[in-house]
Amino acid sequence: MSLWMSSAAVPQFPPLNDDVTVDVCVVGAGIAGLTTAYFLSLEGKSVAVLDDGPIGWGETGRTTAHWVNALDDRYYELERIHGTVGARLAAESHTAAIELAHSIIKKENIDCDFHYLDGFLFAGKGEDPAELDKECEAARRAGLTDVKIVDHAPGLPWTGRALMFPKQAQLHPLRYLSHMSMVMARRGVQIYCYTHANKITATEVHTDRGPVIHCKQVVVCTNSPVNDRVAIHTKQHPYRTYVIGMRVPKNELPLILLWDTLDPYHYVRLQPDPLSRAHDILIVGGEDHRTGEESEPEYHFTKLEDWTRERFPQVQERAHAWSGQVLEPIDGLGFIGRNPGDQDVFIITGDSGNGMTHGTLGAKLVTDLIMGRENPWATLYNPSRFRLRSTTEYVRENLIVGKHYAEWLHPTDTSSPDGIKPGTGAVIRRGTKLIAAYRDESGRLHECSAVCTHLGGIVHWNNLESSWDCPCHGSRFDATGQVINGPALKNLEPVDETDRPPLKRDQGDRPAKELS
């Protein structure tokens, strides 16, 4: 549970129980999906939103909600890949996203701790501060003419020289979405939760509960697009990121956004403590790594806490800790617009660590496309694009995917389920098959195929989230194999009874049917 999940009264919407017909079906009720539905409803479109959990309970509920036009892939890099005009459009669109959110908050009178504030980029330990000058010049060329170098971030001399980006923003993402969803529901937008979309076409969205949503257009906002099998997933790659919330006496630290130049980098903000008027929560994130490539994820919280205590001696106890998933596009910008090969299916994906602004500008862009209007950002974010200058990144990331496919031939975590401790899981080999075996706290063993239902990668056990994570394109499944993150649409396959070893009475192992 993130700080946001534990401090927002998220409205509950019912599951889909009957077929419905609307103009547009939006799949995914996070920042991108709900903002798209909001804009489309203002245009007079009838809209249905579908999600397999509560609203905002995917990656939007796990963000740190930095609203920045200071893109973490750096303007000098965006300029190299997308050209001067592309970098300018990137700056313009992310700036517009901050303004769009502010205008929604004002118009709908949303109480979500929104603040404009300055952001500061500083050189991480051992990093060359000259990068700040290089980025300052590139950001100015991209149109952010008010960025400037300062001696240090306010009240934090240890940062040394820092690059200041004025008028960034922060808010409480789930209070923002909760209020927005209520406004939309009153306006007639139909929101259905706890309903999994298992087949998506331009005119029909089928669900695991049976009913179908009939529509003229579909917008897929499921973080990783579940309608796309291959094209997009070779151009963006999944990373886990970690966040802690440290209690700190109120007004001891400046209200700013802060991040460093390391890779992976640290990112910092402040939020009023929902449980205490006398405290703020210092939110610190970072420690990113490729999904499925870490056997001891809890260790990253300790490293984040050490980093924080060294720089912010005012902090007290750790009050929150959570992790999330970031999709890193190979060229630094989201994939937003028509799904490759489709006229009436749209996607918003590739948050690149800037999910709040990408989701919001994506909602505006897709709304314009659906309304038949020109949008100046459409070419830059076109999901079908391939920039030649991102080829090195494309090859590097897909070599990693190839390495993970080779795991079919590797030794497994353990040779037998006997050694799997309660509350943990491991991949075991049985004949030619790879099994994802999880032993629950009561000692019962749950087994399913370890083969990802997207494109056949081998899932890895994530001890922190108690999930099976696929390192190839980021699909995630709960401990018993139910899909929780795309691009996979289906659960891990059950184990064939003939693949099972004889039951062991003393361990309480029982066949899958009996367990369910």
Positions in the binding site for ligand FES (CB under 6 A): 452, 454-457, 470, 472-475, 487-488
Specify the residue, 41 or 236, whose C-beta has the smaller distance to ligand FES.
236
Please report how close the Cβ of residue 233 comes to ligand FES at its closest, in angstroms.
6
Specify the residue, 94 or 404, whose C-beta has the smaller distance to ligand FES.
404
Please report how close the Cβ of residue 28 comes to ligand FES at its closest, in angstroms.
17
Determine whether 516 is exposed, middle or buried from the number of CB atoms within 10 Å of its CB (0-12, 13-18, 19+): exposed
Please report how close the Cβ of residue 475 comes to ligand FES at its closest, in angstroms.
4
The angle formed by the CA atoms of residues 144, 70 and 84, to the nearest 5 degrees, is 55
Specify the residue, 449 or 480, whose C-beta has the smaller distance to ligand FES.
449
The angle formed by the CA atoms of residues 43, 111 and 103, to the nearest 5 degrees, is 40
Contacts with 106 (C-beta within 8 Å, 6 or more apart), sequence order:
none
Beta strand 467-469 with 460-462 is antiparallel
Q: What distance in Å separates the CA atoms of residue 120 and residue 137, rounded to the nearest whole number?
A: 15
Please report how close the Cβ of residue 194 comes to ligand FES at its closest, in angstroms.
23
Specify the residue, 320 or 473, whose C-beta has the smaller distance to ligand FES.
473
Please report how close the Cβ of residue 487 comes to ligand FES at its closest, in angstroms.
6
Specify the residue, 376 or 402, whose C-beta has the smaller distance to ligand FES.
402
- Count the Cβ atoms, other than its own, within 10 Å of residue 508: 13
Q: What distance in Å separates the CA atoms of residue 328 and residue 259, rounded to the nearest whole number?
A: 18
Q: What distance in Å separates the CA atoms of residue 292 and residue 139, rounded to the nearest whole number?
A: 34
Specify the residue, 179 or 454, whose C-beta has the smaller distance to ligand FES.
454
Please report how close the Cβ of residue 237 comes to ligand FES at its closest, in angstroms.
10
Specify the residue, 258 or 470, whose C-beta has the smaller distance to ligand FES.
470
How is residue 353 written in tokens? 């660590």
Q: What distance in Å separates the CA atoms of residue 6 and residue 172, rounded to the nearest whole number?
A: 11
| Strand order from edge to edge, sheet including 424-430 | 424-430, 433-439, 445-449
Q: Which residues pair with 424 in a beta bridge?
A: 439
Please report how close the Cβ of residue 395 comes to ligand FES at its closest, in angstroms.
18
Specify the residue, 72 or 288, whose C-beta has the smaller distance to ligand FES.
288
Please report how close the Cβ of residue 405 comes to ligand FES at its closest, in angstroms.
8
Contacts with 506 (C-beta within 8 Å, 6 or more apart), sequence order:
none
C-beta of residue 110 within 8 angstroms of C-beta of residue 168: no
Please report how close the Cβ of residue 34 comes to ligand FES at its closest, in angstroms.
25
Specify the residue, 95 or 485, whose C-beta has the smaller distance to ligand FES.
485
Specify the residue, 402 or 456, whose C-beta has the smaller distance to ligand FES.
456
Q: What distance in Å separates the CA atoms of residue 64 and residue 283, rounded to the nearest whole number?
A: 7
Closest CA to 28 of 363, 406, 469, 396: 363
Please report how close the Cβ of residue 283 comes to ligand FES at its closest, in angstroms.
29
User: What number of CA atoms fall less than 13 Å from residue 151's CA on the CB side?
Assistant: 4
User: What number of CA atoms fall less than 13 Å from residue 236's CA on the CB side?
Assistant: 32
